[in-house]
Amino acid sequence: MSKLTAEQRVQKAHVWLMKHPKYCLYSGVLMIGKTEVKDEGCPTAYTDGRNTAYGRKFVDKLSESDLKGLILHENLHKAFRHTTVWKHLYKEQAKLANMACDYVINLMIADADDGAGEVTLPEGRLLDEKYRGMDAGTVYRMLKEDAESGGGGGEGGFDEHGWESAEGMSPEEKEQLARDVDQALRQGAILAGKMKGNVPREIGDVLTPKVDWREALREFITSFCVDKDESTWRRPSRRWIGDDVYMPSLIGESVGRVVVAIDMSGSIGSNEVSQFLGEVRDICDRVKPEGIDLLYWDTDVCQHEKYEQDQLDNLLGSTKPRGGGGTNPQCIVDYMSEKKIKAECAIVLTDGYVPNWGNGWSCPTLWGITTDEVSGVGKTVHMQ
């Protein structure tokens, strides 16, 4: 029998993964986009979130189990939409962003194989138990802190990530990709059930219906924009600056300062905190607040971070959550009063298990609650 080509080996590994009870969950994701073997321009492998490429020389030297692991690795990047969800981390420090995403999915691959040796990872893999249960944003912060303290940055993993190609996608293309991935995973979950396979908790979290925070927060924040009937030269319109045209902005194009207060009493996990911060950052890109006062709280405000408009892009990478005690949102009200924080609105994330909702709020308040509780003041949005 003649030796299989790299293309044939990749196709064979795809079929094996799609037919196996442990991995059939990802069948639809494996079929999204174009898969190709490249002679040039791809030393290892990469995905832009839709399409996947494998370097011929790299594939030729891999064992069958390592090739299956490589293919699963690239397609888990697609499943979690790493190239688009965490693009801001890549813009800040690409190497650390690559590493963070790899640490998350490599633990999943190792868990699925469970020592069977059928699906393994190529040499150079990033695998560390200390990152278990974390998302890429949390791992990134830990890696960044370690690098800043002189701990080094590591080798960066065995593959590349097609962040630049993903950056070229239009908003409509990114939304379509998100829908395609979601549909593929939901269909894969049905197939896994029929084949008596398991759906990892991380994938279950992705598929759990959630409130569209982007829409809820945008609607809430923009409702406090002043009427767009006055113009000002003090803040030039951003939509024209790219064309070297200096025009006044409508005052209502941006809002003032926004308070974001996150419950750190222990019942809110790091994944939820990272996701919420990511959505807040995206919303703020769109409505352009003058700044954010980020408060981490339990029975007291444990951390207060200020971000001006030109610093919002770095919020997720630089924030340092603090807390771990009880829960009492009155501390937010008291702290804002004590520090004379003037905000147009406040967003509070909590599980809702609180002794009170706080008295004397100085601005409109949106409560993002992870349980069925309903706040006694302000507006409630459930995150279930």
CATH 3.40.50 placement within the chain: 213-382
- Residues 265 and 85: their CA atoms lie apart, in Å, by 26
pLDDT of 338: 96
pLDDT of residue 379: 85
- Confidence (pTM): 0.59
- The C-alpha angle 51, 81, 273, rounded to 5 degrees, equals 170
The pLDDT of residue 184 is 92
What integer pLDDT is reported at residue 93 of this predicted model? 87
What CATH number labels 213-382?
3.40.50
Q: Per-residue pLDDT tens, the chain, 384 aa: give them.
A: 358 999 999 999 999 999 999 999 999 999 999 999 999 989 999 999 999 999 999 999 999 999 999 999 999 999 998 888 787 788 888 889 999 999 999 999 999 999 999 999 998 889 999 999 888 888 998 999 888 887 655 566 777 777 777 777 777 787 788 889 989 998 999 899 888 888 888 887 777 656 666 677 767 776 765 444 444 444 454 444 454 544 454 444 557 889 999 998 876 777 777 767 776 777 777 777 889 999 999 999 999 999 998 888 788 778 888 887 788 999 999 999 999 999 989 999 888 888 899 999 999 999 988 777 788 888 888 775
pLDDT for the residue 240? 46
Q: Nearest Cα to 256, choosing from 291, 285, 281?
A: 291
The answer to whether residues 163 and 136 touch, using CB atoms and an 8 Å cutoff, is no
Q: Within its chain, how far is the Cα of 167 from the centroid? A: 15
pLDDT the model gives residue 111: 95
Predicted pLDDT at 326: 84
What radius of gyration, in Å, describes the C-alpha atoms of the chain? Answer: 23
Question: What distance in Å separates the CA atoms of residue 307 and residue 339, rounded to the nearest whole number?
Answer: 16
CA-CA distance, 262 to 274, in Å (whole number)? 11
CA distances to 47, 224, 279 from 287, rounded to whole Å, are 31, 10, 12
Which of 70, 205, 85 is closest to 133 using CA atoms? 205
Find where tokens 């986009």 sit. Answer: 33
Find the distance separating the first CA and the last CA of the chain, reported in whole Å: 55
Three-state SS for the chain is CCCCCHHHHHHHHHHHHHHCCCCHHHHHHHCCCCEEEECCCCCCEEECCCCEEEEHHHHHCCCHHHHHHHHHHHHHHHHCCHHHHCHHHHHHCHHHHHHHHHHHHHHHHHHHHCCCCCCCCCCCCCCCHHHCCCCHHHHHHHHHHHHHCCCCCCCCCCCCCCHHHHHCCCHHHHHHHHHHHHHHHHHHHHHHHHCCCCCCHHHHHHHCCCCCHHHHHHHHHHCCCCCCCCEEEEEECHHHHCCCCCCEEEHHHCCCEEEEEEECCCCCCHHHHHHHHHHHHHHHHHHCCCEEEEEEECCCEEEEEEEEHHHHHHHHHHCCCCCCCCCCCHHHHHHHHHCCCCCCEEEEEECCCCCCCCCCCCCCEEEEECCCCCCCCCEEEECC
Q: CB of 140 within 8 A of CB of 89? A: yes
The pLDDT of residue 63 is 96
d(CA 375, CA 359): 12
